[in-house]
Amino acid sequence: MMKAYYESFGCQMNAFDTEVIESMMTASGFETVQSAEMADVIIVNTCSVRENAEQRAIGRLNDLSRNKAVLVVCGCMAQRMGDSLFDKVSGLSLIVGPDNYLELVSAVISIIEGGEKNVITGQDGKAAYRLGSTGSEKGGRVSRFLSITRGCENFCSYCIVPYLRGAVRSRDIAQILREVKILTAAGTEEITLLGQNVMAYNRDGVDFAGLIRHILENSDIRRLRFLTTHPRDVNTQIFQIMKEDPRLCPHIHLPFQAGSNRILSMMGRGYTREHYLDIISEAREIMPDLAISTDIIVGFPSETDSDFEETLDIIRKCRFDSAFTFKYSPREGTEAYKMDDDVSSELKKERLKRLNSLVQKIRKDILESRIGLIDEILLDARVKKGENLFWKGRTPHFRNVLVSSDDLNQGEILRVSLSGIRNFTYLGEVV
Ligand code: SF4
């Protein structure tokens, strides 16, 4: 049996794609191994969201090329750089874009049988993949990703994704439900539905809210989540469903990126700060304790002090549970790349520092406000903190909790009292 080893860089969508690729390879007789040294084939899924993500992947690929294995690169960097990667990575055999994974296995086999090195990066804007068995489901992970859409057509001016992942396509609702049932039967308790913009889901007249209702009505999944949402496409019915059925977890990741309407329009985000604030207030009217996380970029071209103050103002008004924060970095191939990157790196650094300290202060306040309350956690892993071994679990609001009891099992859903905080993680006691 040929042995295959996988590595995945970047977002959850890439993590899901790597599982799909592994399931296709496994179905063709390749055995998954946990180290590159043991592998006959090494497959690395890559990210292109920022330049340093590509540099890291190229560095890692050159490390891996020292192994006597067929080396394959796929994902967004493969799509963006194509055959130029043969000059950057010695011993590279195959380059496959995100729309071409159905051709990957046969291309690997052709190279194993002595075929030429190859590049497959044509975009058809139709490709959508089924999650097959990787053989690793048994006793599998309690929390899994499941893609429902692929691609993005929002063309935010700073983002390279639409050029690399192509047009939006929504997967077949029956196939999605089938995969939810396969995963649930294999012991998965929590599924996160994935897409660059899940609320753009629309297939055979069924929109995102319709898909969620369909899954909840026709499966025993204990927890359902979704990632990521674009504010322009928010369907507030989703908050009503959260209220009616607590299996749909009360957390939404809703990137706002910047607080000034002038910068939002330069970013091509398609909404205003007022629109974003309206969504948040409507959502909190329906779900008062909704947990919201977000993404924020500082230092976008021409961002002034007052633009930045408007970003801080949104954070104070929305009180996010957490935020992924970034300094703007120009990305070749995007509209914003043509703009003058005129905010100095010192100023970007200083603004990021102020932003992070405000985000963390609010995050701490939110966490502290719930000390002493009882919450429910899904146990997903054992973790070591110093000399101590804990079980780590997550609340429906996507907050991490550590419990020190031993006689517990992965996948259990427990009631705990939130007794303390360690960094941004709760300490909990089983009740
Ligand atoms: S919504 Fe915007 S930022 Fe997100 S993937 Fe699409 S283009 Fe990129």
Average pLDDT over residues 161-169: 93
Distance, CA 19 to ligand 1 centroid (Å)?
Answer: 23
* CB-defined site of ligand 1, < 6 Å: 152, 154-156, 159, 161-162, 196-197, 230
Q: Are residues 379 and 363 in the same domain?
A: no
Residue 129 located in a structural domain: no
Co-location of 380 and 357 in the same domain: no
Same domain, 145 and 112: no
Domain membership flag for residue 325: yes
- CATH code for the domain of 426: 2.40.50.140
Number of domains in the chain: 3
Measured by CA distance, the residue closest to atom 1 of ligand 1 is: 154
Region 3-19: mean pLDDT is 95
Same domain flag for 98 and 206: no
Averaged pLDDT score across all residues of the chain: 94
List pLDDT tens digits, range 260-300.
999 999 999 999 999 999 999 999 999 999 999 999 999 99
Q: Is residue 113, in this structure, part of any structural domain at all?
A: yes
77 and 186 together in one domain: no
Give the span between the Cα atoms of 98 and 78, in whole angstroms: 8
Give the span between the Cα atoms of 122 and 318, in whole angstroms: 42
Q: How far is the CA of 290 from the centre of ligand 1 (A)?
A: 24
Residues 260 and 359 in one domain: yes
- Domain of 213, in residue numbers: 136-368
The 10s digit of each residue's pLDDT in 306-334 is: 999 999 999 999 999 999 999 999 999 99
Residues 360, 385, single domain; the answer is no
- Closest ligand 1 atom to the C-alpha of 152? 6
Residue 129 pLDDT level (bands cut at 50, 70, 90) = confident
Co-location of 296 and 401 in the same domain: no
Return the best residue to mutate from 154, 168, 269 for the ligand 1 pocket (most ligand atoms within 8 A of CB). Answer: 154
Same domain, 141 and 227: yes
**Alpha carbon distance 362, 136 (integer Å):** 39
Confirm whether 87 is domain-assigned: yes
Q: Are residues 113 and 198 in the same domain?
A: no
Which of residues 316, 342, 368 is at a domain's end?
368
3-state secondary structure of 295: strand
Does one domain contain both 340 and 354? Answer: yes
Q: Is 106 helix (H, G, I), strand (E, B) or coil?
A: helix
What pLDDT, on the 0 to 100 scale, is given for residue 361? 97
CA atoms within 13 A on the CB side of 242: 22
Give me ligand 1 centre to Cα 240, in Å: 26
Residue 125 lies in a domain: no
Helix axes 12-27, 104-112, angle to 10 degrees: 60
The single residue listed with the structure tokens 């932003």 is 355
Ligand 1, atom 2: nearest CA belongs to which residue? Answer: 156
Does residue 264 lie within any of the structural domains?
yes
Rounded distance from Cα 162 to ligand 1 centre (Å): 7
Average pLDDT (90-108) is 96
Atom of ligand 1 nearest to the CA of 230: 1
Residue 128, domain member (yes or no): no
Ligand 1 centre distance from Cα of residue 212 (Å): 22
Residue 367 pLDDT greater than 80, yes or no: yes
CATH (domain of 13): 3.40.50.12160
pTM as predicted: 0.93
Average of pLDDT values for 224-251? 97
